[in-house]
Amino acid sequence: MFSEFGIISNRMRRRSFLRNLSMVSGTAWIAPLASAMAATQDGPLLAYVGTFSSPLQDVLPTQVDLPPGNGRGIHLFEVNRADGSLKFREEVRMGSSPSSLVINAQGTRLYSANETDQVGSRKEGSVSAFGVDPKTGSLALLNTVPSGGAGPTYVSLTPSGEHLLVANYFGGTVAVLPVLANGRLGPATDVKIDEGPIGPTRATNSPPGSFAMSGHDRTHAHMIATDDRGRYVLHADLGLDRIYVWKFDPSSGKLLPNDPPFVTLPPGDGPRHFHFHPNGRWLYSVQEEGSNVVGFRFDRETGRLEAFQTISTLPRDFSGSNFCSEILVSPDGHYLYAGNRLHDSIAIFKILEDGTLEYVREVWTQGNYPRSFSFDPSGQFLYVCNQRSDNVAVFRVDSQNGSLQFTGHYAPVGNPSCVVFRDFADR
């Protein structure tokens, strides 16, 4: 357990901002209205950025992605609602690479996956719980517990907020941890170990000339999340080329295999992340080494997945190596975005009426190795974590055609990995 978390703070000033706006088709007036009214509403919008960070003096050495250690823990920014720019406020110093973050629905607790491979004498990673100050947004450590495997790379909450789900990349396991009444985390109620034949080192759908091989050496649980009702838990294992589906028992915190227990992706393609459409009936998975998106129909009653489309994330004439990263459906459900690392772009797809994807264009991320990206609560801006160029780049989203326009705003952050938001105007 880590016992020292230092807080470094700028003088924090409260600003006035526009309340959260919904993304609705045909509302081109939203952006100028936001600019005109930004100073008329109280309550800041804060962004928390997770990073890959070097170990501190009193923290055991960590296992992190390359390049290691430029981050300094969790970085907190105030968001300008009018132009999307980020103003630094403070940071929670952590040497444990808090690479994935999630905030509960009430905005009172934040949880981090600390991508380490050792806690004390245990070959295991950890997850931390923080209280969020209701006035300033500052974080206070509540507790840190084992994650159920080495290298936790992803955390999410069940819809009730009563359980934290963890994917342990280096351990090849997933875990369920109870969230206690005070926000602290309890010991895991369930840990599942991924088992099966490892996929080939060359992806079935890799582009010509690709040498992309990142995870077909062993099992690698990469993401875990529930469906919209919390009845099923899904997780992707990159090394096994599988997406698992579990029935979830909230009373016991146990995962029970569904029938069938998983779907298989093409050998070597490496499913990394997935995202549900707002209708809850379509799920889209991005393959890290195959550089493609697979669309699935999801039966909300049985939990079964049925693939209906595979489409590349890269330009038709691309050759060479690429590693896909993040995938998100826009809040209005009209567009899908998929990240390309090495090609350093975000591919934009239009979602048609039957759920199939139509390639629109790709946009340069204004940096190197985009690990993830997130919409702000209004859906007007997209924040891209360019891991190897040490910045978060800000794009304005055009709701009419899904396009991304770089705002000219960067935030300097060492090895950023993810960004999540807390809107104080809603409290």
Give DSSP secondary structure letters for 151-191. Answer: SEEEEEE-TTSSEEEEEETTTTEEEEEEBPTTS-B---SEE
Question: Could you tell me if 114 and 202 lie in one domain?
Answer: no
3-state secondary structure of 30: helix
Q: Which domain holds residue 71?
A: 1-192+419-427
Amino acid identity for residue 289 in this structure: E
CATH number at residue 288: 2.130.10.10
Amino acid identity for residue 233 in this structure: V
Amino acid identity for residue 106 in this structure: Q
- Closest to 278 (Cα-Cα) out of 355, 207, 209: 355
3-state secondary structure of 35: helix
Return the structure tokens found at 68: 């290691």
Q: What are phi and psi of 287, to 5 degrees?
A: -100, 120
Please tell me the predicted confidence (pLDDT) of residue 33.
43
Sheet containing strand 109-114, strands side by side: 98-103, 109-114, 126-132, 139-146
Tokens 């090849």 label which residue? 172
Calpha distance 410→392 (Å, rounded)? 6
Please tell me the predicted confidence (pLDDT) of residue 286.
98
Question: Could you tell me if 255 and 170 lie in one domain?
Answer: no
Q: Is there a domain that residue 301 lies in?
A: yes
Question: Could you tell me if 118 and 207 lie in one domain?
Answer: no
- Closest to 142 (Cα-Cα) out of 169, 170, 104: 104
Question: Could you tell me if 116 and 131 lie in one domain?
Answer: yes
Question: Could you tell me if 175 and 35 lie in one domain?
Answer: yes
Calpha distance 427→418 (Å, rounded)? 24
- Closest to 161 (Cα-Cα) out of 113, 138, 129: 129
Question: Could you tell me if 110 and 123 lie in one domain?
Answer: yes
Question: Could you tell me if 41 and 164 lie in one domain?
Answer: yes
Amino acid identity for residue 222 in this structure: H
Please tell me the predicted confidence (pLDDT) of residue 41.
53
Q: Is there a domain that residue 373 lies in?
A: no
Calpha distance 248→176 (Å, rounded)? 10
Please tell me the predicted confidence (pLDDT) of residue 292.
98
For every residue of 296-342, which 3-state class applies, written as one string?
Answer: EEECCCCCCEEEEEEEECCCCCCCCCCEEEEEEECCCCCEEEEEEEC
Q: Considering Cα of 24, then 29, then 32, then 33, what sign does the dihedral take? A: negative
3-state secondary structure of 420: strand
Question: Could you tell me if 285 and 148 lie in one domain?
Answer: no
Q: Rounded to a whole number, what is the distance in angstroms from the first to the last CA of the chain?
A: 32
Please tell me the predicted confidence (pLDDT) of residue 34.
45
pLDDT in tens, 86-143: 999 999 999 889 999 999 999 999 999 999 876 667 778 999 999 999 999 999 999 9
Please tell me the predicted confidence (pLDDT) of residue 54.
75
Number of structural domains the chain divides into: 2
Question: Could you tell me if 300 and 232 lie in one domain?
Answer: yes
Question: Could you tell me if 199 and 183 lie in one domain?
Answer: no
Q: Is there a domain that residue 394 lies in?
A: no
Calpha distance 140→136 (Å, rounded)? 11
**Which residues lie across from 73 on neighbouring strands?**
93
Q: Are strands 271-276 and 282-287 parallel, antiparallel or unpaired?
A: antiparallel
Calpha distance 394→373 (Å, rounded)? 10
Amino acid identity for residue 105 in this structure: A
Please tell me the predicted confidence (pLDDT) of residue 23.
37
Question: Could you tell me if 180 and 267 lie in one domain?
Answer: no
Question: Could you tell me if 170 and 206 lie in one domain?
Answer: no
- Closest to 277 (Cα-Cα) out of 292, 261, 298: 298
CA angle 212, 217, 220 (to 5 degrees): 95
Q: Is there a domain that residue 370 lies in?
A: no
- Closest to 51 (Cα-Cα) out of 67, 77, 69: 69
Calpha distance 335→330 (Å, rounded)? 5
pLDDT, tens digit only, all 427 positions of the chain: 333 344 444 433 333 333 333 333 334 434 444 444 443 457 899 999 999 997 653 344 444 444 468 999 999 999 999 999 999 999 999 988 999 999 999 999 999 999 987 666 777 899 999 999 999 999 999 999 999 999 999 999 999 999 999 999 999 999 999 999 999 999 999 999 999 999 999 999 999 999 988 889 999 999 999 999 999 999 999 999 999 999 999 999 999 999 999 999 999 999 999 999 999 999 999 999 999 999 999 999 999 999 999 999 999 999 999 999 999 999 999 999 999 999 999 999 999 999 999 999 999 999 999 999 999 999 999 999 999 999 999 999 999 999 999 999 999 999 999 999 999 986 5
Q: Which residues contact 277 (CB under 8 A, 6 or more apart)?
A: 283, 284, 329, 333, 351, 355
Please tell me the predicted confidence (pLDDT) of residue 59.
42
Tokens 């975000």 label which residue? 346
Q: Is there a domain that residue 98 lies in?
A: yes
Are 91 and 48 in contact by the 8 Å Cβ rule? The answer is no
